[in-house]
């Protein structure tokens, strides 16, 4: 298997050694070791068999004619003397001998020799060469740094794309779970890169560019790698931010270098991730467009479909903001085809869970079909994180396998946040939270169009003090008006329950009111669900930074705006009255659910349904008991 170029990158020592430019770093250490050896070795290698004696004893032996040879060092005053029996004595005398000592030496029969030793090579030149060497090394280091900076400046206009060989990446379509429709749409690119003759014979032209559009985490980059793996052609991967630089014109230069590199490879795939960072609409935004970004975009438009056609080069790009891309980038001849990579459906989630569950020790009670049904709206990245979170919880609990309970805890953490069981709540606050969540739960259990209730908890999780979780029974792609109205009632349930029980509202319904108001405003302004306003859509949803609405006035009058506000207010009041009537009729059920929450802190949706039916049967029995009987 061929190695990736970035895997074969040499370290600085290897690259310097192979290129021949400069010494490898280990050679400097070798030179220092050799110099130290020459300096230290003579001191350790000198063998000394002499006997040290005092200076006066040395003179006594000279006077007694026991010494035959005397060597005196004029610089240090050290004296070496050899006796008649061959013994060598060592002593240290004065640097300048006194007349009496000199007379003793002259009158003795010993041979006296005065020596002045000459310094060695290192002792002579090392004090001079060391500063000079340090200065030379300093300037050499400065020169190397300057060369590195200059080489970086010279290569600033080169593409930063990571090339992969024909055998890399090894990802195939079979490694991508689900998304069969998406795979079918981009399989034509694979067939063209494998057999271009089949398309040229019939006169067909393969799309030059395919834009993968979808929410974050849906696997757009993985699909692009799978296309390269299936086609078996070189693959150049780059992100949109790699083209941007503080110097004007660098982005355009990198685009040119990217396409030149791809042309040298023959047939190749260029993949640009996060295309929206350089492909935004030109001339939009506060203060006009960014010159560097627009030059980069213009160069890319020219390379994709300019005077020089890029035959055999297919561009893949990924973005989660197709609405902000420049129209010239999306026209035929550039990105001809947009492939939507949506959030996975139920069957896709099941296959994705199978892929990420490989290598995990799952318990027998784990039903991945149930997990897939309970994770609507999750992307592939979310599902991968869910399984990993369940594994972490299993390890934290010292379990040998991942059980269904761990998956449930991981989903709660993902959807609701980390539980804050240590948070101290007063008894009054806990009771208010219990009735608040009981109001939500009861509305969800009773209303026919609401999503099924999954669980209710008054344990603080994330930023919420309590959570009521609903899970849809099936995938929804459109929402009916009665479903939205029941959703508003469920959102109002917590606040109305507090008012019925305690006679006063609290700040706990802030998030509920924000969501309900936004939902009601969309019903009036965007979805035409108001008889008073009629089937009209008001207000653009474009972002200000795109520049589309910056100088554009509001497309409805002040009277219409007042009517919209009044209609939103009417819808919210109507659903609030529905909620109040529902909770008043089921007051006993509300008390039962709240008491169960105070006792157990977390109850399931099935338990809420059981308590609701129990309260209904109790109410029916008490009502029948109070009704007067009539004898025939």
Return the HEC string of 575-609.
HHHHHHHHHHHCHHHHHHHHHHHHHHCEEEHHHHH
* pLDDT (0 to 100) of residue 154: 43
The pLDDT of residue 519 is 93
Q: Residues 8-36: pLDDT tens digits?
A: 334 444 444 443 445 566 666 777 777 66
From 575, 540, 566, select the one nearest 554 (Cα to Cα): 540
**pLDDT tens, 492-513?**
999 999 999 999 988 888 899 9
Residues 109-120 have a mean pLDDT of: 76
Per CATH, which fold does 347-416 belong to?
Helicase, Ruva Protein; domain 3 (1.10.8)
Assess whether pLDDT exceeds 60 at residue 164. Answer: no
In the prediction, which pLDDT does 150 show? 47
Q: Cβ(259)–Cβ(310) under 8 Å? A: yes
- Is residue 389 over pLDDT 50? yes
Residue 75 has pLDDT above 50, yes or no: yes
Helix/strand/coil for 456: strand
User: Per mean pLDDT, which of 475-484, 514-523, 528-537 is the most reliable?
Assistant: 514-523
* Structure confidence at residue 130 (pLDDT): 72
Q: Quick one: pLDDT at residue 576?
A: 94
pLDDT of 376 strictly over 50: yes
Specify the pLDDT at position 123. Answer: 65
> Is the four-CA dihedral 558, 564, 568, 571 of positive or negative sign?
positive
Where do the domains of the chain lie?
45-117, 162-340, 347-416, 427-623
Q: Please state, in angstroms and rounded to a whole number, the distance separating the CA atoms of residues 468 and 456.
A: 5
Express each pLDDT in 543-593 by its tens digit.
Answer: 444 444 444 456 778 888 899 999 999 999 999 999 999 999 999 999 999
Q: Hey, what CATH topology would domain 427-623 get?
A: Methane Monooxygenase Hydroxylase; Chain G, domain 1 (1.20.58)
pLDDT at 230 over 80: no
- Residue 628 has a pLDDT of 57
Cβ atoms of residues 389 and 413 within 8 Å: yes
pLDDT at residue 279 is higher than 70: yes
pLDDT in tens, 142-161: 777 665 554 444 444 455 55
- How far apart (Å, rounded) are the C-alpha atoms in residues 423 and 427? 13
Which residue has better confidence, 43 or 107? Answer: 107
Encoded tokens for 548:
């589309």
- Mapping DSSP to helix (H, G, I), strand (E, B) and coil, where does residue 464 land? strand
Q: What is the pLDDT of residues 437-468, one digit of tens each?
A: 999 999 999 999 998 888 898 888 777 788 88
Average pLDDT over residues 174-187: 78
- Among the listed residues 120, 114, 102, the one whose alpha carbon sits nearest the alpha carbon of residue 73: 114
How far is it, in rounded angstroms, from Cα 218 to Cα 549?
30
The pLDDT of residue 505 is 87
Give the model's confidence band at 239: pLDDT under 50 very low, under 70 low, under 90 confident, else very high: confident
pLDDT bin (cut points 50, 70, 90) of residue 207 is: confident
Largest CA distance in the chain: 167
Greatest mean pLDDT among 13-22, 280-289, 398-407: 398-407
CATH architecture of 45-117: 2-Layer Sandwich (3.30)
What CATH number is given for 162-340 in this structure?
3.40.50.300
Predicted confidence at residue 348, as pLDDT, reads 83
Rounded to whole angstroms, the Cα distance separating 314 from 206 reads 9
pTM confidence score: 0.62
The pLDDT of residue 120: 63
Query: Whole-angstrom Cα distance, residue 582 to residue 156?
Result: 68
Residue 486: pLDDT band (50, 70, 90) is: very high
Strand pairing report for 209-213 and 88-92: unpaired
Q: How many whole angstroms from its chain centre is CA 148?
A: 30
Reported confidence tier of residue 249, pLDDT bands at 50, 70, 90: low
Question: What pLDDT score does 631 carry?
Answer: 44
Q: Is the pLDDT of residue 374 over 90?
A: no
The total number of residues shown for the chain amounts to 632
Using one digit for the tens of pLDDT, what is the confidence trace for 511-529?
Answer: 999 999 999 999 998 888 8
The mean pLDDT value of the chain amounts to: 77
Most confident of 330-334, 539-543, 606-610: 606-610
Which letter does DSSP use for residue 629 in this model?
P
Distance of CA 491 to the CA centre of its chain: 34
The residues, any chain, with a CB within 8 Å of residue 396's CB and separated by 6 or more, are: none
* Residues tagged active-site: 437
Q: Please answer whether residues 254 and 297 qualify as being in contact, where contact means their C-beta atoms are separated by less than 8 angstroms.
A: no
Per-residue pLDDT band for 188 (boundaries 50, 70, 90) equals confident
Neighbouring CB atoms inside 10 A of 213's CB total 20
User: Distance between CA 296 and CA 145 in Å, rounded?
Assistant: 30
């Amino acid at each position: 298997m061929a190695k990736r170029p970035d895997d074969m990158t040499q370290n600085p020592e290897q690259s310097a050694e192979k290129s021949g430019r400069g010494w490898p770093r280990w050679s400097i250490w070798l030179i220092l070791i050799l110099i130290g050896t020459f300096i230290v070795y003579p001191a350790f290698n000198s063998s000394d068999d002499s006997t040290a004696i005092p200076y006066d004893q040395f003179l006594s032996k000279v006077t007694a004619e026991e010494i035959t040879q005397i060597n005196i060092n004029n610089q240090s005053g050290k004296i070496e003397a050899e006796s008649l029996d061959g013994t060598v004595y060592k002593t240290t005398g004065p640097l300048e001998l006194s007349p009496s000592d000199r007379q003793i030496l002259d009158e003795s029969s010993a041979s006296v020799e005065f020596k002045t030793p000459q310094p060695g090579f290192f002792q002579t030149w090392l004090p001079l060469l060391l500063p000079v060497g340090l200065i030379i090394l300093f300037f050499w280091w400065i020169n190397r740094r300057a060369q590195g900076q200059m080489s970086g400046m010279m290569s600033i206009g080169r593409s930063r794309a990571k090339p992969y060989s024909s055998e890399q990446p090894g990802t195939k379509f079979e490694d991508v779970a689900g998304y069969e429709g998406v795979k079918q749409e981009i399989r034509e690119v694979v067939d063209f890169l494998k057999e271009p003759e089949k398309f040229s014979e019939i006169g067909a032209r393969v799309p030059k560019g395919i834009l993968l559009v979808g929410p974050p985490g849906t696997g757009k980059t993985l699909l692009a790698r799978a296309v390269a793996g299936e086609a078996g052609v070189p693959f150049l991967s780059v992100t949109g931010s790699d083209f941007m630089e503080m110097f004007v014109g660098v982005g355009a230069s990198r685009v040119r270098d990217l396409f030149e590199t791809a042309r040298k490879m023959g047939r190749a795939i260029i993949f640009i991730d996060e295309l929206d960072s350089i492909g935004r609409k030109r001339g939009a935004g506060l203060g006009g467009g960014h010159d560097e970004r627009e030059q980069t975009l213009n160069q890319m438009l020219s390379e994709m479909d300019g005077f020089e056609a890029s035959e055999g080069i297919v561009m893949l790009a990924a973005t989660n903001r197709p609405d902000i891309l420049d129209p010239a980038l999306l026209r035929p001849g550039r990105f001809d085809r947009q492939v939507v990579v949506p959030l996975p459906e139920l069957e896709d989630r099941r296959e994705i869970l199978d892929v990420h569950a490989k290598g995990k020790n799952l318990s027998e009670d784990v039903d991945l079909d149930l997990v897939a049904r309970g994770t609507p709206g999750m992307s592939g990245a979310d599902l991968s994180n869910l399984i990993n979170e369940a594994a972490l919880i299993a390890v934290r609990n010292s379990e040998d396998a991942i059980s269904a309970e761990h998956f449930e805890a991981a989903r709660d953490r993902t959807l609701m946040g980390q539980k804050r069981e240590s948070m101290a709540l007063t008894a009054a606050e806990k009771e208010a939270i219990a009735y608040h969540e009981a109001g939500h739960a009861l509305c969800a259990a009773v209303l026919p169009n609401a999503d099924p209730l999954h669980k209710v908890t008054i344990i603080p999780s994330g930023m919420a003090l309590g959570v009521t979780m609903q899970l849809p029974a099936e995938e929804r792609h459109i929402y009916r008006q009665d479903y939205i109205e029941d959703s508003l009632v469920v959102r109002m349930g917590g606040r109305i329950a507090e008012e019925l029980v305690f006679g006063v509202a609290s700040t706990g319904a802030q998030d509920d009111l924000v969501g309900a108001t936004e939902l009601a405003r969309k019903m009036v302004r965007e979805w035409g669900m108001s008889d008073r306003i009629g089937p009209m859509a008001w207000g653009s949803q474009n972002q200000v930074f795109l520049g589309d609405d910056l100088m554009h006035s509001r497309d409805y009058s002040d009277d219409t705006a007042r009517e919209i506000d009044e209609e939103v207010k009417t819808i919210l009041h109507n659903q609030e009255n529905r909620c109040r009537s529902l909770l008043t009729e089921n007051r006993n059920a509300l008390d039962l659910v709240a008491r169960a929450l105070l006792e157990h802190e977390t109850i399931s949706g099935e338990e809420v349904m059981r308590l609701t039916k129990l309260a209904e049967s109790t109410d029916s029995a008490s009502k029948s008991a109070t009704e007067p009987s009539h004898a025939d």
